[in-house]
């Protein structure tokens, strides 16, 4: 059938474009994930959505289609798996998503990091994890407490990975970059730690997490990664079963510490920096430790109010 009729609705420009309903968005994304959309139409869709921006209903419809086809890891435990989407990488500051994952594993959490690269000029999580001894998973399965598992997006959804790679041709992010930060690749209890790059995305992401009845931490991460900035503690909003949990929220603590901080690290240097922290040669950055402690507190609250899972 194609998606031209959807592109006509969303591609009428900033002021003429119309939002799709949740069902229309689900139907459109189903076509894309089924691999029936021609490359030109795919590019047109990505650019049109980039100009218009995703509404909460569109995000939920897209996620409906994604979750119908997503390969899932399983969690047999009451304690939720902590999910860290890592898609932005780092250009200037150290990429510390692997550090957060290892700290959480040390605290007894099962941790799933998923991601891939859609541009080549950044340090990416997969390479740093490999440098500290964590290879990509080759199949989905149970995630054990105290383990960090890394899943490449292709393992979860090859079609979604292909959509992310459109960025290499257009030079622009598309709605797939929002979907991977909101999707839940765990069957069973989970706690999503996700981030936004620009404040404009915060409201739509929060609305989506509420609609998903998710356990989640939402923050403006470091260069788009779901980890606190070394230089300051950002605002961290918490949800339990989609309901705001203000008692757990962390307010911003602006420090702007720049002395003795590493910048512009490559993969090997980033891995060495993380190893020094993990072996106690240098202290854990206070914002990252505060984030890890928050996640542990929220995880404990989840087990006190157990749920079957967060997938809508």
Please, which pLDDT band fits residue 200 given cuts at 50, 70 and 90? Answer: confident
Please, which pLDDT band fits residue 305 given cuts at 50, 70 and 90? Answer: low
Q: What is the pLDDT of residue 153?
A: 98
pLDDT digits (tens, 9 = 90+) for 252-303: 887 655 557 788 899 999 999 999 999 999 999 999 999 999 999 999 999 8
Q: Please list the helix, strand and coil fractions of the chain in percent, rounded to the nearest 5, in that order.
A: 45, 15, 40
Beta bridge partners of 225: 222
Within its chain, how far is the Cα of 101 from the centroid?
13
Q: What is the pLDDT of residue 129?
A: 98
Q: What is the pLDDT of residue 252?
A: 83
Q: Up-side HSE of residue 60: CA atoms within 13 Å toward CB?
A: 18
- pLDDT of 68 above 80: yes
- Whether residue 307 contacts residue 189, with contact meaning beta carbons closer than 8 Å, is answered with yes
Please, which pLDDT band fits residue 165 given cuts at 50, 70 and 90? Answer: very high
- Whether residue 245 contacts residue 298, with contact meaning beta carbons closer than 8 Å, is answered with yes
DSSP characters for 43-107? Answer: HHHHHHHHHH---HHHHHHHHHHHHHH---EE--SSSPEEEEEE-S-BSSS---HHHHHHHHHHT
Q: What is the pLDDT of residue 251?
A: 85
pLDDT digits (tens, 9 = 90+) for 228-242: 998 888 899 999 999
pLDDT digits (tens, 9 = 90+) for 115-125: 998 888 899 99
Q: What is the pLDDT of residue 94?
A: 94
State the Cα angle at 212 between 241 and 224, rounded to 5°: 100
Residue 150, SS3? strand
Please, which pLDDT band fits residue 220 given cuts at 50, 70 and 90? Answer: very high
Residue 156: φ, ψ to 5°: -85, -40
Residue 236, SS3? strand
Q: What is the DSSP pairing of strand 190-196 with strand 232-233?
A: unpaired
Q: What is the pLDDT of residue 53?
A: 87
- pLDDT of 83 above 70: yes
Structure-token pair, residue 131: 């440098």
pLDDT digits (tens, 9 = 90+) for 135-150: 999 999 999 999 999 9
Q: What is the pTM of this model?
A: 0.93
Alpha-carbon span 228 to 194, nearest angstrom: 11
Q: What is the pLDDT of residue 308?
A: 43
- pLDDT of 306 above 60: no
pLDDT digits (tens, 9 = 90+) for 9-19: 898 876 788 99
Q: What is the pLDDT of residue 61?
A: 97
Residue 132: φ, ψ to 5°: -105, 15
Alpha-carbon span 14 to 48, nearest angstrom: 9
Kindly give, in sequence order, each residue whose CB lies less than 8 Å from that of residue 99, ignoring residues fewer than 6 positions away: 227, 274, 277, 278, 284, 288
Map tokens 């106690």 to a residue.
280
Helix ranges, 82-148 (H): 97-106, 125-131
Q: What is the DSSP pairing of strand 243-244 with strand 236-240?
A: antiparallel
| Domains, the chain, ordered by start | 4-69 (1.20.970.10), 73-304 (3.40.1030.10)
Rg of the Cα atoms in the chain: 19
Q: What is the pLDDT of residue 24?
A: 96
When the pLDDT of each residue in the chain is averaged and rounded to a whole number, the result is 91
Q: What is the pLDDT of residue 222?
A: 92
- Whether residue 209 contacts residue 60, with contact meaning beta carbons closer than 8 Å, is answered with no
Please, which pLDDT band fits residue 309 given cuts at 50, 70 and 90? Answer: very low
- pLDDT of 111 above 90: yes
Q: What is the pLDDT of residue 1?
A: 60
Q: What is the pLDDT of residue 189?
A: 96
Alpha-carbon span 242 to 213, nearest angstrom: 4
Map tokens 């404990």 to a residue.
300
Residue 148, SS3? strand
Structure-token pair, residue 193: 């730690």
Beta bridge partners of 136: 150
Q: Mean per-residue pLDDT for 10-37?
A: 91
Alpha-carbon span 73 to 56, nearest angstrom: 26
């Amino acid at each position: 059938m194609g998606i031209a009729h959807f592109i006509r609705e969303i591609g009428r420009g900033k002021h003429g474009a119309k939002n799709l309903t949740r069902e229309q968005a689900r139907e459109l994304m189903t076509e894309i994930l089924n691999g029936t959309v021609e490359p030109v139409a795919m590019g047109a869709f990505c650019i049109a959505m980039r100009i218009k921006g995703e509404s909460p209903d569109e995000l939920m419809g897209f996620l409906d289609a994604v979750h119908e086809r997503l390969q899932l890891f399983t969690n047999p435990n009451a304690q939720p798996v902590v999910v860290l989407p890592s898609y932005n990488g780092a250009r200037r500051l150290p990429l510390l998503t692997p550090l957060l994952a290892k700290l959480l594993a040390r605290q007894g959490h099962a941790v799933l990091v998923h991601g891939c690269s859609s541009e080549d000029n950044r340090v990416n999580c997969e390479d740093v994890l490999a440098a500290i001894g964590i290879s990509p998973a080759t199949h989905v399965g149970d995630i054990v407490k105290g383990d960090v598992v890394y899943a490449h997006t292709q393992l979860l959804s090859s079609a979604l990975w292909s959509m992310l790679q459109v960025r290499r041709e257009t030079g622009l992010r598309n709605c797939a970059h929002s979907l991977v930060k909101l999707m839940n690749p765990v069957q069973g209890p989970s706690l999503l730690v996700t981030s936004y790059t620009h404040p404009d995305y915060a409201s739509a992401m929060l609305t989506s997490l509420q609609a998903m009845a998710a356990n989640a931490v939402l923050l403006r991460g470091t260069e788009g990664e779901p980890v606190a900035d070394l230089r300051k503690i950002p605002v961290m909003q918490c949800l339990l079963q989609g309901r705001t949990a203000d008692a757990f929220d962390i307010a911003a603590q602006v420090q702007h510490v720049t002395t003795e901080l590493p910048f512009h690290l490559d993969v090997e240097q980033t891995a060495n920096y993380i190893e020094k922290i993990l072996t106690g040669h240098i202290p854990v950055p206070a914002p990252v430790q505060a984030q890890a402690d928050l996640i542990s507190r929220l995880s404990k609250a989840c087990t006190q109010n157990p749920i079957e899972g967060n997938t809508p």
